[in-house]
Amino acid sequence: MLKAILNALRYVLNFDWLAGVSIGAAKNVFLVLFVLIGILVLLIPNDYIYKGLKKRRWWLNLKLWALGDLVFIFITYYIF
């Protein structure tokens, strides 16, 4: 049983197929993923973001912070 699990794990963790993927293609995949995550963040309703707060302030909007982080990561990946 343990041998079968180890063989399956060895198969799953074999990333030799990634050797054929160019660095540019991998970079583009991650950049697209960051954009998709940003779109998903924008789809979160504002009422859910501000739930439990007595006063709505712009700096308490978690969507802005999440988008700011995504932009920072996106630029870092784009440059390097």
Alpha-carbon Rg for the chain in angstroms: 20
pLDDT digits (tens, 9 = 90+) for 25-75: 999 999 999 999 999 999 999 889 888 888 999 999 999 999 999 999 999
DSSP run (H or E) holding 47 = helix 46-49
Q: Can you tell me the distance from the alpha carbon of 31 to that of 74, in angstroms, rounded to the nearest whole number?
A: 6
What pLDDT score was predicted for residue 53? 87
| Statement: residue 16 has pLDDT above 90 | no
Residue 63 CA, chain-centre distance (Å), reads: 14
**All structural domains of the chain with their residue ranges:** 22-79
What pLDDT score was predicted for residue 71? 95
